[in-house]
Amino acid sequence: MRIATFNSENLFSRAKVLNFKNNADGDKLLKKIGDLQAELKKKVYDKPKILSLYNSLTEYIEIAEDRGKLFKRQLFAIKGVAANGVDDWDGSIEFKREKFSETTRINTAKVLKALKADVQCLVEVESRETISSFNSDMLGTVKFPYNILIDGNDPRGIDVGLLSRYPIKNIRTHIFDKEKPGGKSFIFSRDCLELEVEIAKNKSLHVLCNHFKSKGYSASQADADARRKLQADAVKNILQNNYDLKKDMVVVLGDFNDTPDSNPLQTLLNTQNLTDVLKLKFGNDIEKTYTYFYKQKSQIDFILVSKPLKDAFKDAGVERRGMFELNNLSNGTEKRFDTVTAISNAASDHAGVWAEFNI
């Protein structure tokens, strides 16, 4: 049996402002959008400032005018600000969406076909409708008979889901888990989607699909690290409360957005009877285990397994052929798919991770 995880990055309509490889670039634009939003809430408008901010953001946003008019227009061109203040109109800022080519979807399908998983965690998927249609339209004869996705807490619609060749028996979401009882802050930015997959009669695989907080799009790096640690620690608590890792077949997988030596992940990665399959296969050789590249090679995608799966472990690997940078990163020893011709049509900037077990 094969288990895999892949951050597909393109199984949704992505906001363009959130599609930067360097999160710092997106953070600057998001701050500008926040500044514009603050200006639009004022009773008396600074019209030149509003127009200047809007003109600098037109590639990434548009303004929906529901009542009254914010802008003065001549044909399709905006000539100035018509509203004198917030009471003169109603509307909202809307993100423009990135367009993904058919080649991108083909390359994503190639990665999934290459992973050859029986149980496939997918990260950054917009909806169950999206995952279902991709499964039917793009995977052809290797499509999965079962799929699940529950909308998570990310307002951008970046969710985690599962494709499975085995029936999905039970589902538990953690989107409502709070940092403090009665508090307002949710633990998981997306979800820790907890599933029971029936691989045989009276024999279950328990799957926890995750996408932890990224290092960008936060008030500070310390805030992002603290949120990611909170999520990793919460997953450990779920494991301890719901499973016996010596006896139950449990896999925790997905995009953890941090490295094996990072402080936020230590509590989870050091859980007794929980093993990283890539470390089991390759040790600490980053040339073998890296799943992502930004300035340096990093492993941020994981498959962690309980003792029964470790005992049944056969093999593991990383599927990088959907990454545009692969040829240069490997000095030509690994080749990307020939249909990956640009960053814009790469399957993802993440690699897929797979593990095989004799069960």
Higher pLDDT, 6 or 294: 6
Top-confidence residue, 183 or 87 = 87
Classify residue 146: in a domain, yes or no. Answer: yes
Q: Domain for residue 328, yes or no?
A: yes
Instruction: Return the pLDDT at 99.
Output: 59
Is residue 215 domain-shared with residue 285, that is, in the same domain?
Answer: yes
Pairwise CA distance, residues 8 & 353, whole Å? 12
Could you please report the per-residue DSSP string of 181-236?
TT-S-BS-SS-EEEEEEEEETTEEEEEEEEEPPPSSSSS-HHHHHHHHHHHHHHHH
Same domain, 126 and 215: yes
Looking at residue 179, its pLDDT comes to 87
The model's pTM is 0.79
Residues 36 and 67 grouped into a single domain: yes
* Residues 103 and 242 both lie in one domain: yes
Same domain? For 91 and 224 the reply is: no
Query: Do 111 and 174 fall into the same domain?
Result: yes
Q: What does the pLDDT read at residue 26?
A: 82
Write down the pLDDT at residue 14: 64
Going by pLDDT thresholds of 50, 70 and 90, the confidence category of residue 96 is: confident
Same domain, 120 and 262: yes
Q: What's the mean pLDDT when you consider all of the chain?
A: 93
Which residue, 37, 63, 95, sits at the end of a domain?
95
**Same domain, yes or no: 133 and 153:** yes
How many folded domains does the chain comprise?
Answer: 2
Q: Which domain holds residue 62?
A: 23-95
Distance CA 65, CA 70 (A): 7
Last residue of a domain, one of 95, 128, 156: 95
pLDDT value at residue 217 = 62
Distances (CA, A) of 344 to 100, 183, 227: 8, 41, 30
The rounded percent of the chain whose pLDDT value lies above 70 is 96
Q: Per-residue pLDDT tens for 229-268?
A: 999 999 999 999 999 999 999 999 999 999 999 999 999 9
CATH of residue 263's domain is 3.60.10.10
Residue 213 and residue 201 in contact, taking contact as beta carbons nearer than 8 Å: no
Last residue of a domain, one of 39, 65, 95: 95
Q: Which pLDDT belongs to residue 190?
A: 94
- Residue 211 is predicted with a pLDDT of 97
Task: Indicate if 137 and 202 belong to the same structural domain.
Answer: yes
